[in-house]
Amino acid sequence: MERKWEAKLKQIEERASRYERKPLSSVYRPRLSKPEEPPSIWKLFHRQTQAFNFVKSCKEDVHVFALEYKVGDGQRIYLVTTYAQLWFYYKSRKNLLHCYEVIPENAVCKLYFDLEFNKLANPEADGKKMVALLIEHVCKALQELYRVNCSAEDVFNLDSSTDEKFSRHLIFQLHDVAFKDNVHVGNFVRKILQPAFHLIASEDDDSISESTGHGFSHFPETPVKQRISFSKMSSDRDRGESQTQNSKERGRLGSAEQSSPDLSFLVVKNNTGEKHLFVDLGVYTRNRNFRLYKSSKIGKQVALEIAEDNRFFPKQSKTISEENQYFLSSLVSNVRFSDTLRILTCDTSQNKQKRVEYSNSTNTKGNIEGFHCSPYPEIDQFVLSLVNKNGIKGGIRHWSYFFPEELLVYDICKYRWCENIGRAHKSNNIMILVDLKNEVWYQKCHDPVCKAENFKSDCFPLPAEISLLFLFKEEEEFTAAETMNSDTKSPHKPPSGLLSEGAVSDADWDNGLDETDFVEAAEDAELAAAAEHGLLGYCSGEGEIPDELIVQVLQE
DNA sequence: CAGCGCTACCACACCCC
DNA sequence: GGTGTGGTAGCG
């Protein structure tokens, strides 16, 4: 949502400055293109958002490419055209020398890797062998996690190495299988490379050989650099998950084999001697520019060419040249549509947690926690009503839910009234505890004195409407969780316009709908159901709620 | 006239010991 | 010293 606002704002500002520079002529004359003209689409934009807006307005199957045009500062312009037309002008390699595919955010795409290491800093590294081992590991993971069969023959292997640098792009050509988008690809890649992270976390050089073969028992307590994307909030849970994942993997690989995949071959040194992974994890961001087959970086001579050890060979075609086939295969977001296309997803534990928070609590064994608002907005409302008294507007700083006890613990901010001392604490915050099992609430606090005597206020019954509502909501959430589950598990067809071969209809454009909206709509279904009862809570970013809304809820 | 999307890093505030 | 936050240089 925030992203959309930012993008919209940026667009508006951009438009404003454009009109200031070039005001509209007094008479606006729209022109129609001649119907007999062949469809030729070749449009350049200075701004990526403009390029994507044009793509959306286009009936044809067009795509955004980035062209480097100034040496040094990596400045790019954006080209919108079809794959066929780009290839027509591109194939001669006389112009368009520094082209990048823009892998659109939220677009279905292939599994891909950017691999590199400094040859001088890693004189003993055998790049080809490392690529082969990586492919093997990835194929195994695809089989284990998604039951997808593939081998090195399905991996288009492109080389862009120099004397100093070993550099490869791998683009997986899976049959009837693609990822939901490149962020999911990144999640998948990080997940399957997890065992390698602890190898680079340690400082001493001997740890590589030492730690291999010991399996996963030496996971570092602190998340290493690459895992920074996982939030602090979910790190414990995430660690737990990776452990179970690892033990599963251990089981599947069998006891005869090593207890865990040996990924030490992925560890390389950069030119300052620091340990890094052979796999570049920085290429799975939104609208990532990925260099095209036969393109070079501006200012450099080396283009991406088919690697010596490439084992992928496209199908022979009478209408499409072999080179064109390779070109099309190299495009990450060129996913062939089929009725049996499977879309793979890989959420981070952060995203998973979001789902868990709003789904049936019995699905999860561990306790959950969060900030500002819990999965029970009505209870949040009630708690907020308790801490909004005498002109003091308290808020929810943090909440935790303990499953066995069915206990919601709210850390309150700003409001510090303590029943124990009969006044507000000066520097310590209080807690409100909601016991869902016994349908009561009570107060405790962080004050050391109160803590020492294990102070707990009297229990007060929860309002009947909250207890009742809780029962209702549990039922709704159960069904909602079920639907969500089947949705994510079963391979589903994305809405048309999402696939690279489908065009976005004008209707979609007018509605401003995109794939994210569909997903959000589905996830909000249960909240919408709650809203129908007129009791849905309301949470601002600050955890503060308009008074009139609280009143409304309490009256009901 | 005009790139984009991050992350790593730093400075700083705040809190609690 | 631990932890959160806000701003930014610089990387991919």
Q: Computed from CA positions of residues A83, A85, A88, A92, in that sequence, does the dihedral angle turn out positive or negative?
A: negative
DSSP three-state, residue A81: strand
Q: How far is CA A344 from CA A129, A177, A243, A352, A501, in A?
A: 28, 7, 22, 15, 18
Contact A380, A396 (CB under 8 A): yes
Strand B bases near protein CB (under 7 Å) are 1-9, 16-17
Phi-psi region for residue A422, left (φ > 0), alpha (ψ -120 to 50) or beta? left
Q: Look at residue A5 in the predicted model and tell me its pLDDT.
A: 66
Q: Which residues have CB under 8 Å from A479's CB, separation 6+?
A: none
* pLDDT greater at residue A420 or residue A174: A174
Token output for A488: 């994510």
Q: Which of A43, A53, A40, A54 minimizes the C-alpha distance to A77?
A: A43
> Cα torsion at A353, A357, A361, A366 (round to 10°)?
40
Q: Which of A321, A331, A346 minimizes the C-alpha distance to A184?
A: A346
Segment A447-476, tens digit of pLDDT: 777 776 778 888 999 888 777 766 654 444
A547-550, Cβ contacts within 8 angstroms, sequence gap of 24 or more:
A547/A388, A549/A381, A550/A381, A550/A384, A550/A385, A550/A388
Q: Look at residue A120 in the predicted model and tell me its pLDDT.
A: 92
* pLDDT greater at residue A40 or residue A18: A40
Per-residue flag: A282 CB under 7 A of strand C: yes
- Of A36-40, A234-238, A428-432, the one with minimum mean pLDDT is A234-238
Q: Computed from CA positions of residues A113, A162, A153, A335, in that sequence, does the dihedral angle turn out positive or negative?
A: positive
For chain A, the helix, strand and coil percentages under 3-state DSSP, each to the nearest 5: 40, 20, 40
Å separating the CA of residue A319 from the C1' of nucleotide B3: 36
Strand C bases near protein CB (under 7 Å) are 4, 11-12
Q: Computed from CA positions of residues A122, A126, A130, A133, in that sequence, does the dihedral angle turn out positive or negative?
A: negative
**CA A421 to chain CA mean position, Å:** 48
Q: Look at residue A452 in the predicted model and tell me its pLDDT.
A: 67
DSSP three-state, residue A510: helix
Å separating the CA of residue A259 from the C1' of nucleotide B8: 34
Per-residue flag: A319 CB under 7 A of strand B: no
Q: Look at residue A531 in the predicted model and tell me its pLDDT.
A: 27
DSSP three-state, residue A435: strand
Å separating the CA of residue A288 from the C1' of nucleotide C12: 9
Q: Which nucleotide is nearest to A114 (CA to C1')?
A: C12
Å separating the CA of residue A537 from the C1' of nucleotide C2: 34
- CB-to-strand C under 7 Å, chain A 162-201: none
Per-residue flag: A47 CB under 7 A of strand B: yes
Q: Look at residue A474 in the predicted model and tell me its pLDDT.
A: 45
What's the CA gap between A186 and A381, in Å, rounded? 38
Supply φ then ψ for residue A211, to 5 degrees.
-85, -20
Pairing of β A423-424 and β A430-435 = unpaired
Pairing of β A99-103 and β A288-291 = antiparallel
- CB-to-strand B under 7 Å, chain A 399-428: 427-428
Query: Following DSSP, what letter does each residue of A455-466 receive, concatenated?
Result: --PPPEEPPHHH
Q: Which nucleotide is nearest to A70 (CA to C1')?
A: B3
Angle between helices A349-358 and A235-253 (to 10 degrees): 110
Per-residue confidence at A545, pLDDT binned at 50, 70, 90?
A: very low
Tally of CB atoms within 10 A around A277: 20
**Domain edges within chain A:** 112-202+263-286+294-344, 367-470+545-554
Half-sphere exposure of A327 (CA within 13 A, CB side): 21
Å separating the CA of residue A405 from the C1' of nucleotide C10: 49
Q: Look at residue A253 in the predicted model and tell me its pLDDT.
A: 36
Per-residue flag: A22 CB under 7 A of strand C: no
- For the question of whether the overall pTM of this predicted structure is more than 0.85, the answer is no
- Of A101-110, A158-167, A234-243, A350-359, the one with minimum mean pLDDT is A234-243
Å separating the CA of residue A225 from the C1' of nucleotide B9: 12
Segment A320-376, tens digit of pLDDT: 999 999 999 999 999 988 878 899 999 876 554 443 333 332 222 345 666 667 777
- CB-to-strand B under 7 Å, chain A 202-241: 225-226, 228-229
CA angle A86, A91, A95 (to 5 degrees): 80
Token output for A475: 């039922």
Per-residue confidence at A216, pLDDT binned at 50, 70, 90?
A: very low
Q: Over 90: is that where the pLDDT of A314 sits?
A: yes
Per-residue flag: A171 CB under 7 A of strand B: no
Q: Which residues have CB under 8 Å from A206's CB, separation 6+?
A: none
Q: Look at residue A470 in the predicted model and tell me its pLDDT.
A: 60
Å separating the CA of residue A420 from the C1' of nucleotide C12: 57
What does the mean pLDDT of chain A come to? Answer: 71
What's the CA gap between A452 and A449, in Å, rounded? 5
Q: Over 60: is that where the pLDDT of A387 sits?
A: yes
Residue A319, amino acid: T
- Highest average pLDDT, of A74-78, A199-203, A265-269, A514-518, comes from A265-269
Å separating the CA of residue A455 from the C1' of nucleotide B10: 42
Å separating the CA of residue A69 from the C1' of nucleotide B12: 40
What's the CA gap between A536 and A543, in Å, rounded? 15
Per-residue flag: A287 CB under 7 A of strand B: yes
CA angle A8, A11, A14 (to 5 degrees): 150
Q: Look at residue A252 in the predicted model and tell me its pLDDT.
A: 39
Segment A482-541, tens digit of pLDDT: 333 333 222 222 222 222 222 222 222 222 222 222 222 222 222 222 222 221 222 222
